[in-house]
Amino acid sequence: MPLQLHDWIARADALSAETRAFINGEYCAARAGASAERISPIDGRLLGHIAQCDAQDAQIAVKAARQAFDSGVWSRRSPVERKRVMLKFAELIEADIQHLALLETLDMGKPISDSLSVDVPGAARAIRWNGEAIDKIYDEVANTADDELGLITREPIGVVAAIVPWNFPLIMTCWKLGPALAAGNSVILKPSDKSPLTAIRLAQLAVDAGIPAGVFNVLPGRGQVVGKALATHMDIDALVFTGSTGVAKQLLMFAGESNMKRVWLEAGGKSPNIVFADAPDLQAAARAAASAIAFNQGEVCTAGSRLLVEASIKERFTAMVIAELENWQPGHPLDPATKVGALVDTQHLRSVLKYIQIGEDEGATRAYGGHQVLEETGGNYLQPAVFTNVRNDMRIAQEEIFGPVLAVISFEDCEEAIRIANDTPYGLAAGIWTADLSKAHRTAKALRAGSVWVNQYDGGDMTAPFGGFKQSGNGRDKSLHAFDKYTELKATWIKL
């Protein structure tokens, strides 16, 4: 029988989470002994005192990772041997689903139903898919003269530092761990200080699966301290990041100031969800538009935060979306019936509330929601908000709010929709709703976005690359293209 609210609360009350760093195969306190309280956004409960690593810890972890890589204990194992370990790793993640889901929900506030059905299975799937892929990727032989042989081979890049966000801590970690480890690299993971618990737990599962000591390390702590130490370290070969565009730009600078390490970034978004009057199913489009802004409390880089609606249906369709949002009201995240949980912390709640005020100050009309609720719980809960009469030059249409705030913008024709959609510094994702196949193709081709979904929102699986254009970043997670970030190409030319 599935666990109910009282079961999850009992488990939460009994939880004793690991809070230490993980370096060279062992849990350990931060070298300087520093730690910080981690407070749950659900109800303000203390989850533990998390190790706060610094440059000393980074130095130790990089040394361990480099020694492990150079020894060949993992990097020179055959692909099929690494695959076996990765598959075991995925199995252990799946077996630990209730523990990992509880940690994820308590740490960042998402509904337990999502942690169980989306986050943990998605993490295991990423590890398994990349493990399965690694012994099926072939190198190349160049077309040469008879007396020459040209080989193009992939080699693991070395030591990888991965800095991951707080909104999908487990999945984002495994999108990076999967190809990085499968390719033979050593990895140092820096989880967000807002949601480090599942990353710390993953380290034990990795060791149990057979990942050798030093190959996978976890350094919790503040980005300005341990994150910067990794980004500027001269012996890190590649830096991968998911987070804000501002931090992504800083990491590029750190790489240039240090050793020109490879830097791959998945940054912000302000994604347009375009609904034409000829959409095949307006009710389905309305349901998707509500989900696109309310799922995961709107704390999603691909959130459909700009709803572009053809003028002839704007009033009717906006009313349909608002009606659908009635099904997306905040509740206790440990209740399996809850669809919207708590924002990650009080600081972020205040930031989103500030944007709601900015929208009103700029002259947009708050047509629905946007109120803080359930304050008596001590948690950070916010109703989804809908703004109409929005111009695309308003801050609520240009800046990433990272919360459940929807800006509705009308357009007259396809050309105007494309112009508005592309009028942003970002280019991560976009949605298109139309029954006209030619219009769908023309619009998708014109949109400057890394992912375009037609008559759905947030489609794709592990076979589809994920990443953005413009200031949404570079490189791709998921699919075979992800291995490009974690390998170097070598050309070997042989005279026969």
Tracing tokens 């699919």 back to the chain, one arrives at 479
pLDDT at 1: 84
pLDDT > 90 fraction of the chain, expressed in percent and rounded: 100
Residue 426, exposed/middle/buried by CB under 10 A (0-12, 13-18, 19+)?
buried
Token pair listed for 124:
């295991």
Q: Which H or E run includes 366?
A: strand 365-369
Find out whether 112 and 8 touch, Cβ atoms under 8 Å: yes
Q: In the beta sheet, which residues pair with residue 365?
A: 388
Tracing tokens 């830096």 back to the chain, one arrives at 239
User: Distance from CA of residue 114 to its chain's centroid?
Assistant: 14
Which residues of 146-279 form beta strands (DSSP E)?
148-156, 159-163, 186-190, 216-218, 238-242, 262-266, 272-275
| Per-residue pLDDT at 42 exceeds 90 | yes
When pLDDT is cut at 50, 70 and 90, the band that residue 213 belongs to is: very high
Q: Which phi-psi region, left, alpha or beta, contains residue 316 (left: φ > 0; alpha: ψ -120 to 50)?
A: alpha
Q: CA 308, 310, 312, 313 torsion: positive or negative?
A: negative
d(CA 202, CA 218): 9
d(CA 236, CA 226): 13
Q: Where in the chain is the domain with CATH 3.40.605.10?
A: 5-267+473-493
From the options 3.30.70.1170, 3.40.309.10, 3.30.200.20, 3.40.50.2000, give the CATH code of 272-465.
Answer: 3.40.309.10
Find out whether 332 and 42 touch, Cβ atoms under 8 Å: yes
Q: What is the pLDDT of residues 147-199, one digit of tens each?
A: 999 999 999 999 999 999 999 999 999 999 999 999 999 999 999 999 999 99
Tracing tokens 């929601």 back to the chain, one arrives at 369
How high does pLDDT run on average in the chain? Answer: 98
- On whether the 5-267+473-493 domain is CATH 3.40.605.10, my answer is yes
d(CA 464, CA 29): 39
List the catalytic residue out of 301, 324, 400, 414.
301
pLDDT at 391: 98
Fill in the DSSP letter of residue 224: I
199-231 in b/e form (b: 16+ CB < 10 A) is: bbbbbebbbebebbbbbbbbbbbbbebbbbbbb
Token pair listed for 7:
């079961």
d(CA 452, CA 268): 16
Find out whether 471 and 136 touch, Cβ atoms under 8 Å: no
- Mean pLDDT for 68-77 is 98
Q: What is the pLDDT of residues 103-144, one digit of tens each?
A: 999 999 999 999 999 999 999 999 999 999 999 999 999 999
d(CA 364, CA 204): 49
| C-alpha distance from residue 50 to each of 16, 40, 196, 322, 488 (Å) | 12, 13, 8, 40, 35
- Mean pLDDT for 343-363 is 98
Tracing tokens 């693991």 back to the chain, one arrives at 156
Q: Where in the chain is the domain with CATH 3.40.309.10?
A: 272-465
pLDDT at 355: 98
Q: What is the strand order of the sheet 148-156 is part of?
A: 140-141, 148-156, 487-495
For the chain, give the longest Cα–Cα distance. Answer: 79
Q: What letter represents residue 398's amino acid? A: Q
User: Distance from CA of residue 62 to its chain's centroid?
Assistant: 24
Token pair listed for 37:
């309280």
Residues 345-349: contacts with CB under 8 Å, at least 24 apart: 345/39, 345/41, 345/194, 345/380, 346/41, 346/380, 348/299, 348/380, 348/402, 348/403, 349/380, 349/382
- 26 included as an active-site residue: no
Q: What is the pLDDT of residues 12-36, one digit of tens each?
A: 999 999 999 999 999 999 999 999 9
- 266 included as an active-site residue: yes
Q: What is the pLDDT of residues 271-308, one digit of tens each?
A: 999 999 999 999 999 999 999 999 999 999 999 999 99
Q: What is the pLDDT of residues 231-248, one digit of tens each?
A: 999 999 999 999 999 999
List the catalytic residue out of 18, 53, 104, 266.
266
